[in-house]
Amino acid sequence: MKTILGILATLVVLFGLTGMASAAETVNANMDVNNGMVTIIATTYDHSTWHPGSAGGQETLTGVGSFTGTYKVSEGNYGALYGQVNLGDKGAGAIFTLSGTIDFDVTSANHNRGTYTNYYFEANGNNAAMNLKTVGSMYVWSEATNPYWQPPLQGNYIEKYVESIKKSDSSTIGLTNIWVGTDGTATMSNSNIWGFGANENGKVTSHYGGSGNTRTVTASGTGRYYQEAYGVNGVTFNGFTFGPGSNPIMTAPFSGGMSGNYEMTGW
């Protein structure tokens, strides 16, 4: 068994191309860790004539404990970031976090909406697992389950958080957040692989890829469920519609487990 301790890597593509750059792999990490910590920071840059040298996306993966898995990142047109993480603990518990930022002014080339999006995912504890890909194109970004039959997030604590920010004053345009903490096992799943998403106008949603698809949270044991959304112009939340500036929140302690579907969008 190979043990990786305290690794810090910043990896980029060194293409000096004008126009559109071809997609290229910037990170390809295979991990087999015993009681250690791995941190990988991936940054993707625009190589076109629109925003040469500007970072379109940056993503940070951290794993703590004993676990195995892979992490891959590719760089697309205009600095778009394509990430894929598949991690699972070895049975003693682990902590996995994935966070990042997408600058839509860079990735959209000649669009200047003045927005960027932050995202954060976490899975920790017994049975911890993270099987996510983060996919950025010119005008939209989304996370998805990959492979589709594995849990996107699983553990004693799981969280998905996405927030769109207005550059001019650092104010929040839209926000979606879900977390579950339990002494059992919590899992998120999607009937369609696509999950939380955002676009260059600042809209964030829990169901990129279609509102007709279900997004499910299940948990065993005793714990707490939390769900929140915000929209400077409006919010939909589990079938309800709220006006500008609304910030609906649902929080519930539970015992004997819980399960249900959620839906929320802030814009």
At 225 the pLDDT is: 98
At 24 the pLDDT is: 55
The pTM for the full model equals 0.91
d(CA 15, CA 255): 54
Per-residue pLDDT tens over the stretch 56-93: 999 999 999 999 999 999 999 999 999 999 999 999 99
Per-residue pLDDT tens over the stretch 197-221: 999 999 999 999 877 889 999 999 9
At 211 the pLDDT is: 72
d(CA 158, CA 174): 21
At 11 the pLDDT is: 31
| Preceding peptide of 147 cis, ω within 30° | yes
How many other β-carbons are positioned within 10 Å of the β-carbon of residue 172?
Answer: 17
Residues of the chain scoring pLDDT < 50? 1-23
At 7 the pLDDT is: 33
Amino acid letter for position 75: E
Q: Are strands 153-166 and 140-145 parallel, antiparallel or unpaired?
A: unpaired
User: Which residue is associated with the tokens 């960027």?
Assistant: 116
At 213 the pLDDT is: 86
Show Cβ contacts of residue 23 under 8 Å, excluding neighbours closer than 6 positions: 74, 75, 76, 77, 82
At 3 the pLDDT is: 33
